[in-house]
Amino acid sequence: MDTQAGPLLEDLQAIRARAEALIDRVPDDAAFQRQPEGGGWSVGQCFEHLNHMNRVYFGAIRRALDGAPHAGAPVTTPIRSTWFGRWFIAQMGPGARKARAPKAALPVSRAGRDEVAGEFVRGLDEIEAVLHGAVAIDLNGPSFASPFFRLSRVRAGTGFRVLLTHMHRHLAQAEQVLRWHTS
């Protein structure tokens, strides 16, 4: 897409396809919640963590977009992130150093595959709808206080990049757990 939101929407579709393929490979609730030998999160815990983080972080982005000025046409300028924003995005990606999740975002439930996966897909639907509605908003403008680094402000476009990169990180983790299950 030629809009500012276009690359974000394309990445979101890739995440959706990756998540659906991953969930289809998990045969049942027991496999969904089985943790690797030696510790680590199960596939289900990866998705539960993403559901929590998506609610919190996306909620902050959505509030930043509420009332943001709409341009007369779709915005096509690229998303610009600050040095800190680019660094933070890199820290969220697959292969980045392992970091501790915020205590409030640690997965604790043992909900079933369909329930957890359904919540994840509904979250993706909501993010997609907001992005479609934001094509005429310059995502470099609205900002929000980071839910995790209260002293920093994050531009909405950078926030979307953080959110999507974080999803890729934990989908890669869940895929690794599935490989462990089948080896």
In order, the DSSP letters of 23-92 are: HHT--SHHHHHPPPTTS---HHHHHHHHHHHHHHHHHHHHHHHTTPPPPSS---SPP---HHHHHHHHHH
pLDDT at 123 over 80: yes
Q: How many domains does the chain have?
A: 1
Inside any domain, residue 134: yes
pLDDT of 137: 97
Q: What is the DSSP letter of 155?
A: E
What is the distance of C-alpha 11 from the center of its chain?
10
pLDDT of 179: 85
- What mean pLDDT do residues 76-99 have? 87
With cut-offs at 50, 70 and 90, classify the pLDDT of residue 59.
very high
- What mean pLDDT do residues 128-132 have? 97
What is the residue range of 178's domain? 6-182
Inside any domain, residue 27: yes
Crossing angle of helices 113-133 and 156-182, in 10° steps, is 150
Q: Residue 95 is encoded by which pair of tokens?
A: 């292969």
Three-state DSSP at 175 gives helix
Inside any domain, residue 1: no
**Where residue 108 sits, what CATH number does that domain have?**
1.20.120.450
Which range is least confidently modeled, 88-97, 100-109, 153-162? 100-109
pLDDT of 98: 74
Greater model confidence, 171 or 2: 171
Inside any domain, residue 15: yes
Q: Give the Cα separation of 123 and 98 in Å (integer).
A: 25
Q: How far is CA 91 from CA 37, 104, 156, 158, 166, in A?
A: 26, 19, 18, 13, 9
pLDDT of 102: 67
pTM assigned to the model: 0.92
- Give me the residues paired with residue 145 across strands: 153
CA atoms within 13 A on the CB side of 38: 3
Three-state DSSP at 129 gives helix
Of 1, 12, 39, which is closest to residue 171 (Cα–Cα)? Answer: 12
Inside any domain, residue 119: yes
Mean per-residue pLDDT over the chain, rounded: 91
Inside any domain, residue 38: yes
